[in-house]
């Protein structure tokens, strides 16, 4: 019986769809793997502006690696789509049901309405519906989760006919099943059932916590190739939002590793309400006293900037028991020079201009940060070229390749080059580059590049 239940995730979709199982992380043909590169600062005639919404919002999904906010407005039965580049709502997606499940990735939005057992796919660029795929009627879908800069796979939570939690993954182009092996020693994959779930922007780390229990727990699911790895810590952390690359989990009690190890040197953990930026890996936010927001370099608890006049929602605390909590109401988009907040009334967006380059010039901290975004994919037989953009209080003295595929090189100017063989295997490669400054500082720039057809 257990073995049959463990195959439920594949059976759910295989009964409705046929086709080959694609490689994890492979972008649909003709599309880029991420849309974060499209982010630009919106035109603003002052440092703080408001965008009044047509109706209150009860949930938010980030898409386009931070470019889009998809806002659920139940009274209008719509998902309003806010485009950071335009600085305004640019359209909507119908959500004609009392129960709406939705998530967003690099270029798509996915919606399930009520008990229809149908997943609909929409384009973030055109807001047009592209596909509607039925799940078997006996499967009750309870959650859709996708990294904001990811082209999949998408994590789906549901309940099988036996009432047990079922967790499985699907690719995005045709919503076909993806073969992901459960953790060693387990016959089935179960994750996040009845809990709050968050995903890293790259779609490789998922976290969940149980707001109705004490402790709330830190559950983490990590995708390593086609293998799922689970970990659990029996403690309360509040919200659990992974960094864009999934290496750090930002919580209501400071930053942690995925395995639950504190990265803070501050004993007053209850005061360390932290959130990652929507993209990149070098910045994060903290809130003190529920009122004051600070901007930090990753790995440094000293704020390098404390923007004034940031309108924050009420009720920021270390417990994160509200479905529409503060972690969904505060968004820092570095490429847009923007911090967006949703006040407690949930009927407007407040756009605060924050230029981190200007803030860097004012800080006394000896910083060393990488501000460029690496390419997300390279084709077989093609050449990857990428030059690191580094900001430092001191001169940059060198770059060193710590880990990467055979043939990849880094010049003394931070230029990355990799000629990919036509016979290279598909899938992701992890690259680690060390950047050093004249004062002996060292920064590790980690990223993954997917080899695609």
The CA–CA distances, whole Å, from 418 to 251, 424, 431, 439, 452 equal: 37, 12, 11, 30, 14
pLDDT at residue 240 above 50? yes
The answer to which of 67-76, 413-422, 443-452 has the lowest mean pLDDT is 443-452
Residues 319 and 198 both lie in one domain = yes
pLDDT at residue 199 above 50? yes
Residues 247 and 323 both lie in one domain = yes
Of 302, 331, 362, the last residue of a domain is 362
Residues 375 and 356 both lie in one domain = no
pLDDT for residue 10: 36
pLDDT tens per residue, range 106-118 = 999 999 998 667 8
pTM given for the model: 0.88
The answer to which of 127-136, 193-202, 210-219 has the lowest mean pLDDT is 127-136
pLDDT for residue 24: 44
pLDDT for residue 110: 97
pLDDT at residue 95 above 90? yes
Nearest one of 229, 197, 228, 223 to 210, comparing CA atoms: 197
pLDDT for residue 139: 65
Residues 98 and 190 both lie in one domain = yes
Residues 193 and 280 both lie in one domain = yes
pLDDT at residue 258 above 70? yes
pLDDT tens per residue, range 177-189 = 888 888 888 888 8
Nearest one of 139, 73, 144 to 110, comparing CA atoms: 144
Pairing of strands 377-379, 68-73: unpaired
Is 326 in contact with 30 (CB distance < 8 Å)? no
Tokens of 104: 């967003």
**Helix (H) / strand (E) containing 16:** none
Residues 172 and 188 both lie in one domain = yes
Residue 403's domain is classified under what CATH number? Answer: 2.60.40.10
pLDDT at residue 401 above 70? yes
pLDDT tens per residue, range 1-53 = 333 333 333 333 333 332 333 344 444 443 333 344 589 999 999 999 999 99
pLDDT for residue 195: 94
Residues 62 and 82 both lie in one domain = yes
Is 283 in contact with 294 (CB distance < 8 Å)? no
pLDDT for residue 374: 87
Q: What is the CA radius of gyration of the chain?
A: 21
Domain count, the chain: 2
Residues 380 and 430 both lie in one domain = yes
Residue 116's domain is classified under what CATH number? Answer: 2.130.10.10
In the chain, the largest separation of any two C-alpha atoms, in whole Å, equals: 63
Round the average pLDDT of the chain to a whole number and report it. 87
Domain housing 43: 2-362
Residue 312 banded pLDDT, cuts 50, 70, 90: very high
Of 362, 397, 422, the last residue of a domain is 362
* Size of the chain, expressed as the number of residues it contains: 453
Residues 323 and 387 both lie in one domain = no
Mean pLDDT for 116-127 is: 90
The CA–CA distances, whole Å, from 337 to 59, 177, 293, 387 equal: 24, 38, 15, 21
Mean pLDDT for 425-439 is: 92
pLDDT for residue 384: 96
Residue 314 banded pLDDT, cuts 50, 70, 90: very high
pLDDT tens per residue, range 341-366 = 999 999 999 999 999 989 998 999 99
Mean pLDDT for 252-260 is: 94
pLDDT tens per residue, range 277-309 = 999 888 999 999 888 999 999 988 999 999 998
Is 250 in contact with 269 (CB distance < 8 Å)? no
Mean pLDDT for 436-445 is: 92
Residues 373 and 352 both lie in one domain = no
Residues 60 and 137 both lie in one domain = yes
Of 336, 362, 388, the last residue of a domain is 362
Residues 447 and 420 both lie in one domain = yes
Nearest one of 286, 234, 225 to 255, comparing CA atoms: 286
């Amino acid at each position: 019986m257990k073995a049959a239940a463990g195959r439920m995730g594949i059976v759910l979709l295989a009964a409705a769809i046929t086709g080959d199982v694609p490689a994890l992380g492979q972008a649909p043909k003709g599309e880029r793997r991420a849309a974060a590169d499209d982010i630009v600062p919106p035109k603003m005639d002052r440092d703080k502006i408001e965008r009044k919404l047509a109706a209150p919002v009860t949930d938010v999904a980030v898409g386009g690696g931070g470019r889009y906010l998809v806002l659920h407005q139940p009274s209008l039965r719509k998902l309003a789509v806010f485009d950071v580049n335009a600085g305004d709502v640019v359209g909507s997606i119908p959500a004609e049901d009392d129960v709406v499940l939705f998530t967003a990735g690099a270029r798509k939005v996915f919606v399930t309405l009520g008990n229809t057992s149908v997943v609909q796919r929409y384009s973030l660029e055109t807001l047009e519906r592209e596909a509607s795929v039925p799940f078997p009627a006996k499967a009750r879908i309870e959650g859709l989760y996708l990294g904001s800069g990811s082209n999949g796979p998408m994590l789906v939570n549901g309940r099988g006919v036996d009432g047990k939690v079922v967790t499985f993954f699907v690719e995005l182009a045709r919503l076909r099943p993806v073969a992901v092996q459960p953790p060693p020693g387990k016959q089935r994959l179960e994750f996040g059932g009845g809990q709050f779930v968050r995903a890293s922007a790259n779609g490789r780390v998922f976290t969940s916590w149980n707001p109705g229990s004490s402790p709330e727990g830190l559950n983490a699911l990590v995708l390593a190739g086609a293998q799922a790895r689970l970990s659990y810590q029996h403690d309360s952390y509040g919200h659990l939002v992974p960094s864009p690359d999934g290496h750090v989990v930002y919580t209501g009690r400071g930053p942690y590793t995925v395995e639950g190890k504190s990265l803070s040197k501050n004993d007053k953990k209850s005061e360390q309400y932290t959130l990652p930026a929507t993209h990149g890996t070098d910045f994060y936010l903290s809130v003190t006293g529920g009122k004051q927001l600070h901007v930090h370099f990753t790995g440094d608890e000293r704020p390098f900037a404390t923007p004034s006049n940031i309108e924050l929602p009420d009720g920021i605390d270390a417990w994160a028991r509200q479905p529409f909590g503060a972690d969904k109401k505060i968004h820092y988009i570095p490429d847009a020079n923007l911090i967006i907040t949703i006040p407690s009334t949930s009927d407007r967006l407040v756009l605060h201009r924050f230029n981190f380059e200007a803030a860097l010039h004012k800080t006394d901290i000896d910083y060393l940060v990488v501000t460029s975004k690496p390419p997300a994919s390279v084709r077989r037989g093609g050449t990857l070229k990428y030059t690191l953009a580094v900001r430092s209080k001191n001169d940059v003295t060198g770059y060193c390749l710590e880990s990467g595929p055979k043939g990849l090189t880094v010049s003394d100017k931070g230029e990355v080059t990799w000629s990919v063989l036509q016979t290279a295997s598909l899938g992701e490669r992890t690259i680690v580059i060390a950047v050093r400054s004249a004062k002996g500082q060292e920064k590790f720039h980690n990223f993954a590049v997917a080899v695609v057809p």
